[in-house]
Structure 1
């Protein structure tokens, strides 16, 4: 699992983001994403101001944008529609501009997530500290079979740019408009894949922060995208199940019982139960 990747200093008009290393290319991804958005969707995200190096670590300085992070409660219809409109602006950045920028596939993108999960679920540790180890093991076993069934499909074409982390803390709401921050994992993706990631985020999904139906309509997903969206939701639910296993960082950050809750949710999802949140 990932560790802390950056330190943020918020000023009156500027935000300074110092990354802990060059290793995973976070600073380069964020700079490219912000630069593309400044040109093709101005006002949607912070305007990039400066790149520098401090103590051999990359630093990005960006303009501070208005708004406060979303609360961990269900969004209103107005907020869902505003967020959908903001995501649509993000996805409407021209592909030729994305290609010219050299932006690569987002972290754990459509061509990487299935393989990541396949390997991750082969290395599950001791589950005895779980409240209900049997339920967690059942979800893992079912998840393994589902992931195996999805491996080997055709590679995605990655036609859009995505943010890759729509934790509600990364959506700033000013009462009218949703703006997006934190593009360090962003990159090329598909709309259905990115939206599935957002609605399944562990900081949002258990609290039903995002309305998947409203967002998918606001973005304008096609029927084919809707079908893939449901499959991708299952994969992202499994990602969070793995993250919540003992020994992983999300297990320590979430209350005891969160692993079992996710396990039961995964079992229902993979059994084909209706998903409405």
Structure 2
């Protein structure tokens, strides 16, 4: 199975993950996360078996039971199980994360605003859009939003997975396990959950219910407010990804960009 960052070879008991060239940092980050979780949250993620040096880095890990979540709402049982898994992840001691040499997650709360300012500043030809006027309106709103976003101060109090695409959530009928930590690192649980519920792969099929997942993880009222405050930033990220020529534009059917533009503006109007 080939992706943009790695190639997976799945055996009966082992999974071999070979990273493409220039992705040594992602490989080292994932290896460090898996080693840390094997000690502090055993069974939550694949157990790391060996690191193979070569032209490109390779991680070999155990194959965990279960199958990836499908593109449909989780329901109460699986939401509760996912909340338990994320709570175990967030309960890993921060001191242990730092001692393992694991830094901030990719696109962390402190860097993401500037990343979005740079991305959204680029000129884009919207002629291929079904509703160019709507997308242009959303782009104007997104640029204004990231210029001075009303975001809470991040609290890097937990290890986050960063990418909770449903394909990275393994369900065996009883327990949830998590895979793919190449972008993981220190993060804010409220920021993580905002990322997860706004991920296009989960939001479009309605996999994660924002309120139910926050409750399952155990966010208090303030945490839920902070999660809601971060959601427009991630919606702006996906708006940029859905512009003509970008990855999500190519992967999704016509009309997705326009629908997401409406979603983004609704989130901004709510804040």
Do Structure 1 and Structure 2 share a fold, with TM-score over 0.5? yes
Shift of 1:184: 0.7
Distance in 2 between residues matched to 1:83 and 1:115, nearest whole Å: 31
Report the equivalent of 2:200: 202
More displaced stretch, 226-235 vs 18-27: 18-27
Matched, 1:219 2:217: yes
Report the equivalent of 1:53: 53
Once the two structures are superposed, residues 160-196 of structure 1 have per-residue CA deviations (whole angstroms, 9 ceiling, x without a partner) of 1111111111101100111110111111101000011
Shift of 1:155: 6.1
Report the equivalent of 2:70: 71
Q: TM-score, normalised by structure 1?
A: 0.94
Report the equivalent of 1:108: 107
Distance in 1 between residues matched to 2:23 and 2:168, nearest whole Å: 23
SS of corresponding position for 1:61: strand
Report the equivalent of 1:187: 185
For structure 1, which runs of at least 5 residues remain unmatched after alignment? none
Shift of 1:21: 2.1
Report the equivalent of 2:166: 168
Shift of 1:154: 8.1
Matches within 5 A, 1:120-199: 120-150=119-149, 156-199=154-197
Q: Is the Cα contact below 8 Å between 1:22 and 1:58 reproduced in 2?
A: no
Once the two structures are superposed, residues 81-117 of structure 1 have per-residue CA deviations (whole angstroms, 9 ceiling, x without a partner) of 1001100000000011001011011110111111111
Distance 1:270 1:220, change over 3 A: same
Among 241, 244, 247, the residue aligned to 1:243: 241
Shift of 1:214: 1.4
Shift of 1:150: 2.1
Report the equivalent of 2:36: 36
Q: Is the Cα contact below 8 Å between 2:109 and 2:154 reproduced in 1?
A: yes
Shift of 1:267: 1.2
Distance 1:209 1:169, change over 3 A: same
Distance in 1 between residues matched to 2:24 and 2:117, nearest whole Å: 21
SS of corresponding position for 2:270: coil
For structure 2, which runs of at least 5 residues remain unmatched after alignment? none
More displaced stretch, 225-234 vs 100-109: 225-234
SS of corresponding position for 1:198: helix
Q: Is the Cα contact below 8 Å between 1:69 and 1:172 reproduced in 2?
A: yes
Shift of 1:43: 0.5
Q: Is the Cα contact below 8 Å between 2:24 and 2:56 reproduced in 1?
A: no
RMSD: 1.5
Shift of 1:271: 1.0
Alignment: residue pair count:
269
SS of corresponding position for 2:27: helix
Matched, 1:10 2:10: yes
SS of corresponding position for 1:142: helix
Shift of 1:23: 4.1
Distance in 1 between residues matched to 2:91 and 2:120, nearest whole Å: 35
Report the equivalent of 1:253: 251
More displaced stretch, 19-28 vs 226-235: 19-28
Distance in 2 between residues matched to 1:22 and 1:102, nearest whole Å: 20
Report the equivalent of 2:229: 231
